[in-house]
Amino acid sequence: MSGTVAVLGGGAWGTALACVARRAGRPVRIWVRNAQAAEAIAAGSNPGRLPGVALERGIAASTDLAEVLSGADFALLAVPAQVLRSVAEAAAPVLPDGLPVAICAKGIERGTLKRMSEVLAEALPAARACVFSGPTFAAEVARGLPTAITLAAADQDAAARIQAGVGSGTLRAYLSDDPVGAELGGAIKNVIALAAGIATGRGLGENARAALVSRGLAEMVRLSVAEGGRAETLMGLAGAGDLILTAMSETSRNTSFGIAVGEGRRIGDVLTARRAVTEGYWSAQAVAALAARAGVDMPITQTVNAILDQKLDVDAAIAQLMERPTASEFRS
């Protein structure tokens, strides 16, 4: 039997990826923070993160990082973006040198403005970093519904090992050598999805949502290219594909959060009521700051950040966007 897959993170996405690896015939161990969650996953469910979803049998769960990583063929790092650094630092003493590690979080680290691969390079320099990005609702992946995803890395040998380890009849991983574009696409689309949700919650109609998604994709391309990514990457699964899924579905964490804000609910109350992490909320400030540092115009991102910082109310923000000077659609 092929080598063990280590999954770090027992949230919805980490649990879904553990199911994928088991479905591909791999032994799987998953690290979670508390013993109760470990017991539930080992017994075939994760009611706190994937309610109603029956997990693949045979997933071993533990609160011990060393136990989970011991003898692993590769690792999937599926923790929220803003805690990725701390988990990677905790794993550093027990991670085998040269182990391929796929980053499964989508975000920009607040404060440092670093992409997740840059964070990993600092916290876990022995790892061979890869990036998962693309249109993936965790519950559908866990149930075995058809899914396609981008697996991006400068180290294509490491990516190919992970591709072989998770590929099955229900998940298809496409290789890319543009991790910058894949990472930024995954991070920025969450912010654009918040904007789409706000428009929906405010009752602005489908035309407005389509416009925000289209112009948001242009913002994703501009910043990614400025940071060294390729525009074509943003036209694929890690860009347009992920944005379409996230921004056009009201079950998306980011879109549903935006809807609540658009309906006039207090941001703090919406956050408190949620168990799952809304990555767009935590990344908006960092994406806006990264754009400012790069000199890239991103009015939708900047407007969302101003709303979340409570510097603009929703109606004033919408008016501000609509009153911007008109320009060529395809400016450089």
**pLDDT of amino acid 322:** 87
Q: How much of the chain exceeds pLDDT 70, in percent?
A: 99
- How far apart CA 131 and CA 148 sit, in angstroms, is 14
Q: How far apart are the first and last CA of the chain?
A: 51
Structure-token pair, residue 223: 């910043």
The tokens describing 319, both together, are 């008016």
Torsion of CA 20, 22, 26, 31, to 10 degrees: 90
Closest CA to 105 of 128, 127, 87, 124: 87
| Phi/psi of residue 301, nearest 5 degrees | -60, -45
Report the mean per-residue pLDDT for the chain: 96
- Using DSSP bridges, classify how beta strands 147-152 and 128-133 pair: parallel, antiparallel or unpaired: antiparallel
Residue numbers annotated as active site: 189
Summarised one tens digit per residue, pLDDT across range 165-179 is 998 889 999 999 999
pLDDT digits (tens, 9 = 90+) for 231-253: 999 999 999 999 999 999 999 99
Domain ranges in the chain are 4-177, 180-322
CATH number of 4-177: 3.40.50.720
Mean pLDDT of 58-87: 97
CATH number, span 180-322: 1.10.1040.10
User: DSSP letter at 2?
Assistant: P
Residues 273-321: pLDDT tens digits? 998 899 999 999 999 999 999 999 999 999 999 999 999 999 999 999 9
Q: For the purposes of burial, counting CB atoms within 10 Å of the CB of 271, is it exposed (0-12), middle (13-18) or buried (19 or more)?
A: middle
pLDDT at 332 over 70: no
Residue 218 CB coordination number (10 Å): 16
pLDDT band of 222, cuts 50, 70, 90: very high
Q: 110 pLDDT exceeds 90?
A: yes
Question: What is the average pLDDT across 184-200?
Answer: 97
* Six token digits for residue 99: 């182990």
User: Helix 206-226 to helix 179-201 angle, to the nearest 10 degrees?
Assistant: 160
**pLDDT value at 1 more than 80:** no
Q: What local confidence, expressed as pLDDT, does residue 275 receive?
A: 85
In the predicted structure, residue 209 carries a pLDDT above the cut 50: yes
